[in-house]
Amino acid sequence: MDLQDMTVIKESMAGDEVEMLTFALDRARAQFAWKCDGLDAKALSTPLPPSTMTLGGMLKHMALAEDMRIAEFITGDPMPEPWKQENFDADPDWEWHSAANDTPDELYGLWRASVERSRAAWATVLANGAGLDQPSIFTTESGQHPNLRRVLVDAVEHYIRHAGHADLLRENIDGRVGEDPPQPAS
């Protein structure tokens, strides 16, 4: 992964809701990227017992979450590779388990590509100026459509939760600790 993935863009002190929430998502992504950065296959497969969670599994899980959120709530597009339903039919936690068979380059590339698809989808849906009040395309069992605010807040919350897990895993691997990655000189 390169530093571009980990740059925390400075938020406006008077930004609107969309700007602040997308900043929060990008900051959480940068924190997550920093915790996963530069590791070899052995380190990406190292759990912190008693948990079986690994940073490699988390990279793949977060890639799935990015793609699934966009497909289900924003675009309605089919899920891209490698998210085949038969993989999940055989193993509901396929993304976590199969990551051990992926190279670091594959895992980092999968996550980066899903983040770029997500950023593009959000930019497109928010370009119409309707903001976060507009309904998503997802329909609940009761017939409701969560608005985009709910979808974006859920995305931020998901990253924050897993950045905390990644923090513990990374500290166990090589002692890296801290909240934000070092930033490039301005």
- 3-state class of 147 per DSSP? strand
Please give the pLDDT value at position 6: 63
d(Cα 25, Cα 126) in Å, to the nearest integer?
15
Tracing tokens 């009040």 back to the chain, one arrives at 133
Reported as a single tens digit per residue, the pLDDT across 106-149 is 999 999 999 999 999 999 999 988 899 999 999 999 999 999 99
d(Cα 182, Cα 186) in Å, to the nearest integer?
12
Confidence of residue 3 (pLDDT cuts 50, 70, 90): very low
Does the reported pTM lie above 0.85?
yes
d(Cα 90, Cα 86) in Å, to the nearest integer?
6
Reported as a single tens digit per residue, the pLDDT across 53-97 is 999 999 999 999 999 999 999 999 999 999 999 999 999 999 999
Reported as a single tens digit per residue, the pLDDT across 43-61 is 999 999 999 999 999 999 9
Comparing CA positions, the residue from 6, 5, 1, 2 lying closest to residue 183 is 6
Please give the pLDDT value at position 7: 65
Quick one: CA dihedral 37, 42, 47, 52, positive or negative?
A: positive
In DSSP notation, 1-57 reads --GGGG--PPPPTT--HHHHHHHHHHHHHHHHHHHHTT--HHHHT---TT----HHH
Q: Which domains does the chain have, with CATH numbers?
A: 16-174 (1.20.120.450)
**Residues 136, 147: contact at Cβ < 8 Å?**
yes
Please give the pLDDT value at position 5: 59
- Cα–Cα distances in Å, from 49 out to 53, 164, 185? 8, 16, 38
